[in-house]
Every structure is written in C-alpha cells, then in structure tokens.
Structure 1
Amino acid sequence: MKLYCYLFCIFLFASQKTLVAQYHFSGYVDTQHWSGDIYLSLIEDYRKLSGVYPEQIIQKTTSDSLGYFSFSGDNLPSENRMYRIHMENCSEDEKDAIHFNGFCPDSKEILFIANNHDSLTLPFSFDKEMFCKIVSNNQKSDAFIKVDSIIHEMRFAFASYRSETNRKLNVKKWFSTLQQYVQNQDEPLTELYIYAFLSDKANNLYAYYLEDLNTNPYYDQLLQRLQTKYPNNIYTNRYKAELASDKFLINSGENTPKNYWLWALFIVLISSIAINILQFSQARARNKIAKDLSKNLTQQEQKVLNFILEDKTNKEIASSMFVSISTIKTHINNLYKKLNVRSREEVKSLYINK
C-alpha cells in the first residue's frame, strides 16, 4: 500500500511540474572561459538568426558553480519556432557600443527548433566544447546543426579550388543537396534556415540564388509548405514578401536591355524632337491667329503693335508717333481687346517666330 502511495505522489508531483513548466531547456557552459548571463531568444525574423538582438530575448539566467543552467516555463508558442541560446563575455559598459548592429565578437550561441512542450539539453561535446550538441524529445531541434555540417562541407569544396569555373560547377550541386536535405526533414523552418543563407545579399552565392530562383520551382513549393504548416505566421509572410521582391528584381533585370544607355539616349532624342515639333506647331498656330486678328487693327494700332514688339515704352511710342501718352494708352487698350490679350507679354507671345 505504501508503495502505491509513493508512486502516486511521484506521479502527482511530476504532473504538477509538467503543468507549471511545460518546456525545459538546460545545458552546461565552460565556466573557465565564459561567465555572466545566459540568454534565451525567440527568433521571429529569420534575417537575424545569428547575433545579439535585445528585442528577441525572452529569458535570462546564470549558471551555477558547475556551469549548469536551465530555462523553463509555459509561455512559448505551441508550434515549432526558431530559438537561440547565447552568452557573451562583454561587460555591461561595453554591450551597447559593441552590440549596436547585433554582432558580438566574443559570444557563443546555438540555434535550435523547439516548442512549448519540449525538453532539451545542451551537454558538452566529446571534446568538452559547449553549445555543439543537442539532446531533445523534438526530432527537429538539432536540424540546424546538421545543416551547418553540410554548409561546412560546401565551403571546404569551394575553398579547395577558388576559380570561377569550379564555383559554377559546384554551386548547382550544393544548392540541390541542401534543398533536398532540408525538404526531407519535413520542417519548413529548416528550409527557411537554408533560404536565409543562400539568399543573403552579402553572400557570394546571392547571384546564383537569383539564377536558381528564376528556374527552380522549389521556392514556390516552399511557400506552399509554409502556408500549409504556418499560415499567417510572421515567417511565412516575410518569406512571401521577399520571394515576390526577388522575382520582380529578376523580371525587371530581364526586361532591361544590356545596351540600356543607348535606349535611354534614343528616348531623350525622340522626346526632344517631339517637344520641338510641338512648340513649332503651337507657334504657327499662334502666328495664324495673330495674323487674322491683325486684320482688324487700324493703321495707328498696327504702328503701336510694331513698337510694342520692339520693346518700346509708352513714352517712346508717343514721341515717335507725335501724340500724347494718353492717346497711346487708348490705342493699346483697343489693341488688347482686338487681340484678346491683357499684357504686352501676351501680345509678344502671339507673334513669336512670326
């Protein structure tokens, strides 16, 4: 009877602990070389996978004298998400200055996939390295570590022969290898991890990614997998937007002729000719109107018109015609009415290029 009570108590205690803390991430750090706080981050922006970003941090802890630390709780999403555990040796005074762009030269981190129900441990590796191994009940948790090993092999292959020919021969093979591997994992977040690496504009492979995107249906299929498994998720929405942007970039590049400067010069030339023709036509039309209106002018008004076109002032016109200034003003007012204008500038505009 006592045995049953003992087992029941153990079960009750375990059940209560499970209800209180559904996830449990723990591990060990090398206390000889690393000290300070240890951070757990939830990564919602897959363009910020590696680095130190305060807005991503959701928990902070410290290790004990043996280097053991743990995170636990019941506040994580129930679906798989990308997480990072990291620590750095930067002092509090240095952090703001050093981490302003997310980069920390003296930090150690590990990326993994997890959810609110996972138990995960980070033991030392066989060579006593920390953050190199993941043991978890979630089979997807260590997917990033496996992908990193393939990327390491790819980099070694490219470094062996640095020629452009070697790069072109190998890039298609490695793109296919990486995409096929992550697709077989049946976890679109792992595929996003590869996508973030291949499509990084700072990466030497970016040009090859654009070529691959133009011919490979894989990227559209990945979008479908994300929309199926993570509908309306920030990962999915960002990937959809980036995919559309990159496709637009490719299409606009294809539609732009290589001798674009010749086309630009041709367009400018045609535009200039068209403007000149339009201005000439407008001038001819104005001249015709002015000629027709001039038929209604008296001899004195015609003389005043000629003086105005010569930029003579009222005083100069009156002196030349031996009449008073008031008489000239009367002629000008009559002239304006017959030509349907209101100023000397409008009179002159009627007779440009006449």
Structure 2
Amino acid sequence: MRYLFLIASFIFFGNTIYAQHIFDGYIDNERWQSDVYLSVIEDYRTLDGINDEQIITKVNSDDSGYFQFKGNQLDSQQKIYKLHVDNCDTYNQSSNHFDGHCADSRDILFIAKNTDSITFPLSFEAQMFCDIISNNPKTACFIKIDSLKEEMKFAYTEFRSKANRDLNNKKWFKSLQDYGEELNEPLAELYIYTFLSDRSNQFHNYYLEDLKNNSYYDELLNRLKNQYPNSSYTKQYEAELTSDKFILSPTDETKDIFWIYVLISVTIISIALNFWLLYSAKKRKTKQHTEAKEQLTKQEQNVLDLLLSENTNKDIAETLFVSVSTVKTHVNNVYKKLNVNSRDELKSLFDK
C-alpha cells in the first residue's frame, strides 16, 4: 500500500512540476514580421492595444511561418492571454511599438493555463488567428463571443432608429449574458462585460440601466469569487461594479461628497493595481531570468555574465583562461539555448 501511495504521489507531483504548455501555429510571413509575441492580460480593460509590461516572451517564425511557444512558466490557473504580430519598427519600439498601440498589428485573445496544447492554424485563404484547436474547451470562448458581437453589430445597423436600438439593447444584452453563463467560464463573461460596459460605446447608458435591476452582475461577481478568488480580475471587477452602483444611487445632497469618495477610491485602487502589476511583472521577469540561466552549463553562465558586462570575446577568453575559439563556441551555445541572435537581443532579454 505504501508503494502504491509513493507511485501515485510521484505521478501527481511529477505532472505538476513538469507541466508544460505548447502554443504553436502559422503566421503569414509575407504580410507580417517574423516576431510573434505572447502576452498575459492581467487588466481586462487592456484587451486592446500592446503593453510591454504584459509581454511574457517572443519567438521567431521560420520560413514557412511556423512558430512555437513551449515552457512551464505559465500559471496553473486559467488566465487571459494574447498572441500578436505587427509591422512596427522593432528598432524604435519605445516611441511607436509599446506605447499602447500599433496601427499595423494583428492579435488573438484566448484563455489558457500551464498544461494547455493549443494550435493556431491558417484558415481559409491563409487567414491567421481565426481558429483555435486546443485540449482546453475554454480556450476558444472569445472567438465564439466575437461571432455573436458581429451579429449584434449587424442588427444595430439594419435600422438606425431609437426604437430599433431599444429593442436590440434588451435582446442582445440578454443573449450575450445568457451565452456567457452557459459557457461556465467567468473569464469569458468578463470579456462580454468589458464590451457591454465600455464607456466609449453606445451601450453604456443601457448598461447602467440594466445594472439597476438585473442580478446578473452580482451573480457574475459570485462566480468570479468562487472560481478565481484571489485574482486581479475578480478584484478589478468588484471595484468597477461598486463604483458603477454608486453612480446610480447618490442623492442630490451627497452627490459632491460621493464623487470625491469615488475619485479617491478609484485612484487608490488604480495605484494599488499598477503597483501590483509592476511587482508581478518584475517577479515574472526575475523568474524568467533564473529559468533561462538554468538551461546553461556553469561555464556558459560565466560567459553569459561576461557578455552582459559588455566584454569582448578576447576579454572573456583571458578572464576564463580559454581560447577565443572556445569562447565563440560557448557564445553560440548561449544564443541557441536562449533563442537570441545577437548581444543586443541577449541584453534585451535580461534587461530589468
């Protein structure tokens, strides 16, 4: 019996320790640069745009357009991730690439965890990021929701009248909310909520009216707390829901005081969330550095440290008491294991 327990423990903990994700697929190399980026979305209000603090890693596609992300650095709990490609100038990223938007880019959002195997194939007429094949049934939720959103947009444009808008508001809010609940995945419901509650779109006023009488929003909060009790998604949603409810309820006498409190609360929450995101990004970066170095031999780690200190191959050879040709071999091994092609890329990988 003891041996059976040890075997079972080994299988369970072995799978946990060595859990790996594999995300692969194809991009159109004739249309896009070969860099493919993988990001984690911690703030669901930043689903659009490009944020360097959210990028986990990047890979280069081969001549056929094939790319692959593989590793064990993802969270065991499901999160929202993004793949994206773009044609922004990679040599001037600080000014036009990672400022929150790239005018010439393509991306796909999906749900995943650290054990998922996901493929992003080219679809009809070599269209990319239009389909998902995954061992995780939750992964493709966003694609299905996007299809409903397209139907919704078409319904709104058929007749541009107030009566048409009112009928469609009632119909599509309920349709999207019901569909999200059927998916049994609160992160997919957050994707719908983000769309319906966006202050910049025409539905926001109806969303506030719906919030007054519809218990759906509180039920979603309960589902998030049950499934993702300590996540940033749950905390952010609860803060937004509380703020929006306050907007609906203040009396005339307390309106000014209310707005001061709301402003202070939102500011504090925003600052706290930004600090948390920065801390998480730094912690994740440190973990990536450690995992990257663990791939190298002791001598290759010594060479890496000297490369990062901007030593020449000759300097490194003199420091380690080896030949320059041996140093070149170590440098090539470091490049290959860390998936870089130059010293600049190596420094960028380990830039804190």
TM over 0.5: yes
* Aligned-pair CA distance for 1:17: 11
4+ residue segments displaced more than 4 Å: 16-21
What runs of 5+ residues in structure 1 fail to find an aligned partner? 1-15, 261-354
Q: Which one-letter code corresponds to 1:198 in the other structure?
A: L
* Aligned-pair CA distance for 1:239: 0.3
Paired residues of 1:74 and 1:116 also in contact (CA < 8 A): yes
What runs of 5+ residues in structure 2 fail to find an aligned partner? 1-13, 256-352
Paired residues of 2:34 and 2:65 also in contact (CA < 8 A): no
Residue in 1 that maps onto 2:82: 84
Residue in 2 that maps onto 1:48: 46
Residue in 2 that maps onto 1:235: 233
Q: Which one-letter code corresponds to 1:28 in the other structure?
A: Y
Paired residues of 2:90 and 2:97 also in contact (CA < 8 A): no
Residue in 2 that maps onto 1:350: none
* Aligned-pair CA distance for 1:100: 5.6
* Aligned-pair CA distance for 1:256: 3.5
Output the aligned Cα RMSD. Answer: 1.9
72-81 vs 89-98, which deviates more? 89-98
Q: Choose which of 131, 136, 139 in structure 2 pairs with 1:138.
A: 136
SS at match of 1:78: coil
Residue in 1 that maps onto 2:210: 212
Aligned counterparts of 2:249 and 2:241: Cα–Cα separation in 1: 12
Q: Which one-letter code corresponds to 1:163 in the other structure?
A: S
Q: Choose which of 165, 174, 198 in structure 2 pairs with 1:200.
A: 198
Paired residues of 1:20 and 1:73 also in contact (CA < 8 A): no
Residue in 2 that maps onto 1:119: 117
* Aligned-pair CA distance for 1:21: 6.1
Aligned counterparts of 1:34 and 1:132: Cα–Cα separation in 2: 16
Aligned counterparts of 2:29 and 2:19: Cα–Cα separation in 1: 27
SS at match of 1:82: strand
* Aligned-pair CA distance for 1:203: 1.3
Bigger Rg over Cα:
1
Paired residues of 1:41 and 1:84 also in contact (CA < 8 A): yes
* Aligned-pair CA distance for 1:35: 1.3
* Aligned-pair CA distance for 1:96: 2.6
SS at match of 2:144: helix
Aligned counterparts of 1:100 and 1:61: Cα–Cα separation in 2: 17
Classify 1:226/1:19 alpha carbon distance in 2 versus 1 (closer, same or farther; 3 Å).
Answer: closer
Residue in 2 that maps onto 1:191: 189
Aligned counterparts of 2:30 and 2:221: Cα–Cα separation in 1: 45
Aligned counterparts of 1:240 and 1:17: Cα–Cα separation in 2: 34
1:166-224 CA distance string (max 9 Å, x none) = 11111010000000001000000000000111111111111111011111000000000
Aligned counterparts of 1:32 and 1:21: Cα–Cα separation in 2: 34
Instruction: Map residues 74-113 of structure 1 onto 2, 5 A cutoff.
Output: 74-99=72-97, 101-113=99-111
* Aligned-pair CA distance for 1:234: 0.5
Q: Which one-letter code corresponds to 2:27 in the other structure?
A: V
* Aligned-pair CA distance for 1:160: 1.3
Q: Which one-letter code corresponds to 1:234 in the other structure?
A: S
Paired residues of 2:42 and 2:232 also in contact (CA < 8 A): yes
TM-score when scaled to structure 1? 0.65
Over the matched positions of the two proteins, sequence identity in percent amounts to: 52
Q: Which one-letter code corresponds to 2:101 in the other structure?
A: F
Aligned counterparts of 2:18 and 2:90: Cα–Cα separation in 1: 33
Q: How many residues align?
A: 241
1:73-100 CA distance string (max 9 Å, x none) = 1111111110000010011244333346
Q: Choose which of 25, 28, 53 in structure 2 pairs with 1:27.
A: 25
SS at match of 2:25: strand
Paired residues of 1:42 and 1:58 also in contact (CA < 8 A): yes
Paired residues of 2:40 and 2:80 also in contact (CA < 8 A): yes
Aligned counterparts of 2:78 and 2:98: Cα–Cα separation in 1: 29
Residue in 2 that maps onto 1:249: 247
TM-score when scaled to structure 2? 0.66
Q: Which one-letter code corresponds to 1:137 in the other structure?
A: N
Q: Choose which of 144, 149, 165 in structure 1 pairs with 2:147.
A: 149
Classify 1:79/1:32 alpha carbon distance in 2 versus 1 (closer, same or farther; 3 Å).
Answer: same
220-229 vs 30-39, which deviates more? 30-39
1:142-174 CA distance string (max 9 Å, x none) = 000000000000001101112122111110100
Aligned counterparts of 1:245 and 1:36: Cα–Cα separation in 2: 43
